[in-house]
C-alpha cells in the first residue's frame, strides 16, 4: 500500500498533466491561426521566418532563467508566472491588427514555459526508474492538447475569426493559472538546510552553465541539438509547407494536426513506457536517431498530403523516443536541486532550433524545395548514428 506522501505526490502529478494538456491546447490553437493571420497581414515566407526566429530568440533567453527560477522559488511560482504570461500573450494576439503588433505580442513568450515547469514537477515527484515513463505521459498530454487545440483553433478562426480564437485561449490560460494556485505545492523538491539558506540569484549564469560540466551532459546536449536540427527546421516551416506545398485550408490543417496528436497520444501513452522498461536509454537513443534518418529519406520522396500521412507514425515515434530519452538522461546527470535548470536548458535547445530554423528553412524552401529537408535529415542523423554507435562500441570494449 502506498504511503500518504506517495498518494499526494501522484495526485499533484495528475493535476500537472491536466495543466500541461490545457497549455498545449492553447498553444496549438494559436499555431493554427497565426500563419493565416500573418498571411492576411502581408507576410511572405521570409517575414514569417523572421517572426518564428523572434519567438525562438525570446524563449532561448528565457528558458534557462525560467528553469533556474523554478529551482529557487518552487514549482507554483514558476508555473504561475508562465500562465500569467500566456494570458497577456493571447490578449495581445486578440488585439493584433498590424505586422508590428504581431511581433510585439510574442514578447511575453520569454516567460511561457509551462511544459518545462510540468516536467520539473514530474521529475521531482517520480523515482528515477519511472522518470522516463512519467515524462512520456506529458507527451500524451501534448497529443491531447495538439488534437484539441488544432481542431478548436481551425474551427474558431474559420467561423468566428482569429480574435475570438485568441480570446478563448486567454480565458483558458486563466483556468490553468487557477489550477496552479489551487493544487501545485510551493515546492516539489526536498531541499537541505544549506540549499534553503543559500543566496538566491536567478541570473547567475555560472550556476546555469556549470551543469554542462557534469559527466555526459555536454555530449547528450550536442546530440540533442545536432540530431534535432533538421527535423526542427522542418517543424518550424511546416505551417508554410502546409499552406503553400500541400495547399491546406486552416480547417484542413487543424485536422492534420489532430492526426499528429492521435499518433502522439498512442505512442506516448502505450509505447514509450514498455520501451523504457525493457531497453536501456542508450539503446533507445540509437534507435531514435536511426529511425529519424530513415524518416528523413522517406520524407524527401513525399509528393502529396496522403503520402505524408503514412510517414507521420514513424516520425512521431522517433521524435517522442528521442525527446523523452535525452531529457531523462540529462536530468539523471545532475543533482535533484538542479533539475529545473537542466530542463530549462533542454527547452532552450528547442528554442535554439526555432531561432536558426526559420532562416535555414526559408533558404532551403526557396532554393531547393521541400525535398531538401528530408535529404538533410537523413544525412545528418546517419552521421550522428555512426558516431554514437562507435562511442557505445568503444565504451563496451573498455569495460570488457
**Domains in the chain, CATH or no CATH each:** 4-186+207-399 (1.20.1250.20)
Contact (Cβ atoms closer than 8 angstroms) between residue 349 and residue 225: yes
Q: Which parts of the chain have pLDDT scores under 50?
A: 193-199
The DSSP H or E segment spanning 220 is helix 217-244
The grid coordinates of residue 356 equal: 536558426
Tell me what pLDDT residue 193 has: 45
Contact (Cβ atoms closer than 8 angstroms) between residue 135 and residue 327: yes
The grid coordinates of residue 142 equal: 501534448
| pTM score, whole prediction | 0.73
The 3-state DSSP composition of the chain as helix, strand, coil percent (nearest 5) reads: 85, 0, 15
Residue listed under C-alpha cell 496522403: 306
Calpha distance 243→236 (Å, rounded): 13
**CB under 8 A, 24+ apart: contacts of 358-363:** 358/48, 358/49, 358/50, 358/51, 358/52, 358/53, 358/56, 358/236, 358/237, 359/49, 359/53, 360/233, 361/49, 361/233, 361/234, 361/236, 361/237, 362/45, 362/46, 362/49, 362/237
Tell me what pLDDT residue 379 has: 94
Tell me what pLDDT residue 396 has: 60
| 3-state SS, residue 112 | coil
Question: From the CB of residue 93, how many other CB atoms can be counted at a distance below 10 Å?
Answer: 25
Amino acid at each position: 500500500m502506498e504511503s500518504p506522501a506517495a498518494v499526494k505526490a501522484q495526485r499533484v502529478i495528475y493535476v500537472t498533466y491536466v495543466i500541461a494538456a490545457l497549455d498545449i491546447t492553447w498553444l496549438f490553437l494559436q499555431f493554427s491561426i497565426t500563419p493565416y493571420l500573418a498571411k492576411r497581414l502581408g507576410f511572405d515566407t521570409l517575414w514569417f521566418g523572421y517572426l518564428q526566429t523572434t519567438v525562438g530568440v525570446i524563449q532561448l533567453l528565457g528558458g534557462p532563467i525560467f528553469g533556474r527560477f523554478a529551482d529557487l522559488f518552487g514549482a507554483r511560482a514558476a508555473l504561475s508566472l508562465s500562465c500569467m504570461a500566456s494570458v497577456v500573450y493571447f490578449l495581445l494576439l486578440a488585439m493584433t491588427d498590424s505586422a508590428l503588433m504581431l511581433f510585439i505580442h510574442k514578447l511575453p513568450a520569454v516567460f511561457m514555459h509551462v511544459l518545462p515547469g510540468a516536467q520539473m514537477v514530474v521529475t521531482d515527484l517520480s523515482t528515477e526508474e519511472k522518470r522516463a515513463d512519467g515524462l512520456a505521459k506529458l507527451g500524451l498530454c501534448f497529443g491531447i492538447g495538439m488534437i484539441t487545440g488544432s481542431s478548436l483553433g481551425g474551427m474558431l478562426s474559420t467561423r468566428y475569426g482569429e480574435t475570438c480564437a485568441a480570446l478563448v485561449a486567454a480565458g483558458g490560460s486563466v483556468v490553468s493559472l487557477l489550477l496552479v494556485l489551487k493544487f501545485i505545492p510551493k515546492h516539489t523538491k526536498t531541499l537541505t538546510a544549506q540549499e534553503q539558506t543559500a543566496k538566491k540569484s536567478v541570473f547567475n549564469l555560472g550556476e546555469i552553465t556549470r551543469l554542462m560540466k557534469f559527466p555526459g551532459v555536454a555530449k547528450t546536449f550536442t546530440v540533442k541539438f545536432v540530431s534535432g536540427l533538421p527535423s526542427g527546421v522542418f517543424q518550424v516551416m511546416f505551417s508554410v509547407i502546409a499552406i503553400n506545398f500541400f495547399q491546406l485550408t486552416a480547417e484542413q490543417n487543424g485536422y492534420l494536426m489532430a492526426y499528429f496528436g492521435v499518433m502522439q497520444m498512442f505512442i506516448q501513452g502505450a509505447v514509450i513506457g514498455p520501451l523504457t522498461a525493457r531497453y536501456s536509454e542508450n539503446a533507445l537513443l540509437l534507435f531514435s536517431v536511426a529511425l529519424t534518418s530513415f524518416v528523413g529519406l522517406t520524407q524527401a520522396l513525399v509528393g502529396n498530403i496522403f503520402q505524408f500521412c503514412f510517414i507521420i507514425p514513424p516520425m512521431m515515434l522517433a521524435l517522442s523516443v528521442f525527446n523523452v530519452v535525452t531529457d531523462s538522461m540529462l536530468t539523471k546527470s545532475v543533482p535533484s536541486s538542479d533539475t529545473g535548470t537542466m530542463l530549462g536548458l533542454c527547452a532552450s535547445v528547442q528554442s535554439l532550433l526555432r531561432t536558426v530554423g526559420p532562416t535555414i528553412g526559408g533558404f532551403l524552401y526557396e532554393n531547393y524545395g521541400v525535398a531538401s529537408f528530408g535529404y538533410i535529415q537523413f544525412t545528418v542523423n546517419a552521421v550522428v548514428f555512426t558516431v554514437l554507435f562507435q562511442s557505445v562500441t568503444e565504451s563496451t570494449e573498455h569495460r570488457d
